[in-house]
Amino acid sequence: MSALTNLSENASRLGMRLQEQLSEHTRDFQFTKSGASAYLDLSDEKLRTIRKQLDSSSDRDKLDAMKRLVALISKGRNVSEYFAQVVKNVASHNLEIRKLVYIFLLRYAEQEPDLALLSINTFQRDLTDSSPLIRSMALRVLSGIPLPMIGSIVVLGIKKCAADMSPYVRKAAALAIPRCHRLDAGHTTALIDIVSSLLRDSSPLSIGAVAVAFEAVCPTRLDLIHPHYRRLCALIVDVDEWGQLNLVHLLLCYARTMLPRPVSRQEEEIWAEDVDDDLDLLLRSSEPLLQSRNPAVVLAVCRLIYHSGVYSRFAKMVPPLLRLLHTSPETESVVLCYLLRLADSNYLSPLLTRSYTRFFICCNDTRATKLTKIHLLLKLANAEISASILREFVEYTDDTDDVVVNTSMRAIGKLAQDIPESSLQCFSALQSMIKDSTDVVVSSAVTVFKDLVRLRPPIGPGVPLHDGLPFPSSFISTLAYRLDEIKNSEARGCILWLVGQYAAAPQLHEAGTIDFAPDVLRRAVRAFMHERPGVKMQTLSLAAKMLTARPKEDRTTLMCRHLFHLARYDASSDVRDRCRMLVSLLVGVAPGLSREDAASRRGVVLRGEQVRLVLFSDKASTSAVVGGHAYESNAMVIGSMSVVLTRSPLMDTFLPDWLEQGTQPTLRGSGEVKPSQTVPRSIVSAPPKASSYATTGIEKPTSPKWTEDLDEFYSQESDTEEEATEEEEEEEEEEEDSSSDEGSTENESSEGERLNHTDVLG
């Protein structure tokens, strides 16, 4: 029993000890409301406490208040009412408080410029602070005050920070230049001088920001890049990933302005290109960026390669772009837009065709991604892969999105139009879809079929019906039979147009296709009052064509007269105009349609052949391309928003034109990257002459000498150590032998010191 009691006590003590240790180790996490969540407390009591803490003399209270304010800013809360109290702490000796104060001022300096002026002296003083972070943040706040009157002060601050030893501060100075330029354009000359000096910077940390400043202040002064071009090409792989975007664009503009355009030529069945050495240097330096983890950098390099015009390097763009398709849905959508534009190139289209299966639609793709993939497959389609792409399009007609279904159907029509070898399979697929029970599929199939027919030569006497594309007469009869089942107004209008267009064709009359035309007209007239204006106008056109084909048939004439009477009083002005136009056109064929006497009617009365020519011709010239898309514009620049938005080129798409002859290569620098100002320098001096005596006096330091060979460097050190060891041994031997003649040894030592001192100074 006692053993059980002891075990229970030990277990309880162990549990208490574990609980104490757990609470001790997790004390800094602060999961309760008193921790990080307490900074988001918006009660009136806490807000009043913030004012008291900001005016307190305790740094701990001020730090707590600033943390609360920054936390509220992160949640979108407007805390500009505390601006006056926060500005008072801008000169705090606590580094953490000053950082938070600068964050607050950066957020609200534009809203409270007058109060921000009170701390300008503090900002200027902080530009000489020992901390690079404080110097950079002080310049950021100073350049963020939107008052033109302080433009000169900001320029002086930028000029001072541009010569700072820290590359982080120089980066802040470069980023402050665009803000100062927007504040007051009168300082452009001074800012250009600062940008010119910053271009000499060899630090990869700041050179990307310098490219941003250059494009904002002097984008046309590309002559300033001359002595730095090759060095910038060497630094491009070391620049931060977001700075690489601006640097690549800057160097691309320079290359298209200052370098000769690449020339392609064919020599004895060998395709060769004349590429400038500096342009080749830029392309070779930027190619490693194709493996960047940042998709924006990869797209920027692809833009550089594409607009450089060096066709032999186009193949290097394809694998990185295909890799980006599996990063994220957003990135995939943008990359597909790029690929859709690149597919227009005769050099890139065969390369993309090899990987056409990578562009098949997945079930989790967005609508925009699906539509872009369909248009991309259309551009890559050829006779070899048309069957596989057609099967994909047929599968896409089962999609749950009606927009994707409609686009897939139009893609089938476009495939039949562009690739004649696949037209038979495409027409068979359309014919099978007419029997589908889905209204969207049937209406889309009818619309596509009608568009394909409109691209054919007009049907008439002497014109063959079969022009290379299969056109079964039973297809139109199937559509006419399902007229009442199809509810889509566009599809119904297409059926009426097809029946009217081919009802009077002599080639179809023998097959009996014209027999169902009066019945189609009868059903259309019966539903005329409930149709949309587009269907009504097609019904009127069908009636006019039937009158032209059968002018002496009484039943057709009576139906047409009733139809035109309904259309004359229709609510739609378009329908009424179509009715008046057709009645005037048919005066010579069916004069009984109008109440006016033919003798009193003015104008020319057309004969039956002339009316037939008007009604049945001019169809192929007015038809639109099936499956057209907004990406057809060749003016879009790769890397611009116009490629993604499918709109006309925007302001960010500017690229200079190539020059016939570039500038002299001697204007560009050697490309050597010199050590940065912050690189520590070491002094390697030659060892002094061998002497057994200690030297006195001041030695003159030698100039810094960099040793390029490490083996030579370490061999020099080992030789120096051996010589020093030999000198020590000689000194010991001489000290043993000098006990008998100390005076003479002192004289020799003094003379040796003077000689050695003379050698060093010399």
Span 683-720, pLDDT tens digits:
333 344 443 333 333 344 444 444 444 445 444 544 54
In this structure, which amino acid lies at residue 130? S
Which pLDDT value is given to residue 501? 80
Alpha-carbon distance values, 548 to 273, 502, 551, 606 (Å): 64, 12, 6, 12
- Is the pLDDT at 729 greater than 80? The verdict is no
Q: What is the mean pLDDT of residues 407-435?
A: 88
Please say whether the dihedral angle defined by the alpha carbons of residues 622, 627, 629 and 635, taken in this order, is positive or negative. negative
Burial class (CB in 10 A: 0-12, 13-18, 19+), 443: buried
Q: What is the mean pLDDT of residues 217-229?
A: 92
Span 309-335, pLDDT tens digits:
888 889 999 999 999 999 899 999 999
Q: Name the residue with higher pLDDT: 741 or 760.
A: 741
Span 577-624, pLDDT tens digits:
999 888 888 887 777 676 655 555 666 777 777 777 778 775 544 344
Q: Both tokens of residue 741?
A: 């003649």
Among the listed ranges 51-60, 387-396, 660-669, 704-713, which one has the minimum average pLDDT value? 704-713
Count of CB atoms situated within 10 Å of the CB of 204: 19
Q: What is the percentage of the chain residues whose pLDDT exceeds 90?
A: 32
Q: What is the mean pLDDT of residues 188-201?
A: 94
Separation of alpha carbons 229 and 667, rounded Å: 9
- Is the pLDDT at 245 greater than 90? The verdict is yes
Separation of alpha carbons 234 and 401, rounded Å: 50
Span 9-27, pLDDT tens digits:
777 767 776 666 655 555 4
Query: Cα angle vertex 72, ends 70, 77, to 5°?
Result: 125
- Is the pLDDT at 391 greater than 90? The verdict is yes
Separation of alpha carbons 695 and 667, rounded Å: 52
Span 348-389, pLDDT tens digits:
899 999 999 999 999 899 999 999 999 999 999 999 999 999
Among the listed ranges 45-49, 515-519, 567-571, which one has the minimum average pLDDT value? 45-49
Q: Name the residue with higher pLDDT: 473 or 742.
A: 473
- Is the pLDDT at 671 greater than 50? The verdict is yes
DSSP letter (8 states) at residue 261: P
- Nearest Cα to 422, choosing from 451, 393, 442, 444? 393
Q: Is the pTM of this model over 0.85?
A: no
DSSP string spanning 85-141? HHHTTTT-S-HHHHHHHHHHHHHHTTT-HHHHGGGHHHHHHHTT-S-HHHHHHHHHH
In this structure, which amino acid lies at residue 513? T
Q: Both tokens of residue 115?
A: 């109060």
Q: Name the residue with higher pLDDT: 598 or 338.
A: 338
Which pLDDT value is given to residue 731? 57
Instruction: Provide the phi-psi class of 640: left if phi over 0, else alpha when psi is between -120 and 50, else beta.
Output: beta
- Is the pLDDT at 392 greater than 60? The verdict is yes
- In 240-368, where do the E strands start and end? 263-267, 270-274
- Describe the crossing of helices 533-549 and 573-585 by its angle, rounded to 10 degrees: 10
User: Measured in whole angstroms, how far is the alpha carbon of residue 130 from the centre of its chain?
Assistant: 40
Q: What is the H or E stretch that residue 82 is in? A: none
SS3 string, 359-387, reads: HCCCCCCCHHHHHHHHHHHHHHCCCCCHH
Count of CB atoms situated within 10 Å of the CB of 680: 5
- Banded pLDDT at 107 (limits 50, 70, 90): confident
- Banded pLDDT at 473 (limits 50, 70, 90): low
Phi then psi for 470, rounded to 5 degrees? -70, 135
Separation of alpha carbons 248 and 233, rounded Å: 9
Please say whether the dihedral angle defined by the alpha carbons of residues 7, 10, 16 and 22, taken in this order, is positive or negative. negative
Separation of alpha carbons 546 and 558, rounded Å: 12
- Is the pLDDT at 574 greater than 80? The verdict is yes
Which pLDDT value is given to residue 233? 94
Q: What is the percentage of the chain residues whose pLDDT exceeds 70?
A: 72
Separation of alpha carbons 440 and 512, rounded Å: 30
Name the residue with tokens 């004895």.
268
**Side-chain-facing half-sphere of 619: CA atoms under 13 Å:** 22
Separation of alpha carbons 42 and 68, rounded Å: 10
- Is the pLDDT at 165 greater than 80? The verdict is yes
Q: What is the largest CA-CA distance in the chain?
A: 158
Separation of alpha carbons 25 and 29, rounded Å: 9
Q: Using DSSP, state whether 480 is helix, strand or coil.
A: helix
Which pLDDT value is given to residue 512? 37
Separation of alpha carbons 254 and 283, rounded Å: 13
- Banded pLDDT at 626 (limits 50, 70, 90): very low
Per this entry, what is the length of the chain? 762
Name the residue with tokens 């009477």.
565
Name the residue with tokens 């290109």.
273
Phi then psi for 655, rounded to 5 degrees? -135, 130
Q: Name the residue with higher pLDDT: 5 or 214.
A: 214
Separation of alpha carbons 107 and 77, rounded Å: 12
Which pLDDT value is given to residue 537? 93
User: Measured in whole angstroms, how far is the alpha carbon of residue 166 from the centre of its chain?
Assistant: 32
Specify which of 34-43, 49-58, 495-504, 647-656 reaches the highest per-range mean pLDDT.
Answer: 49-58
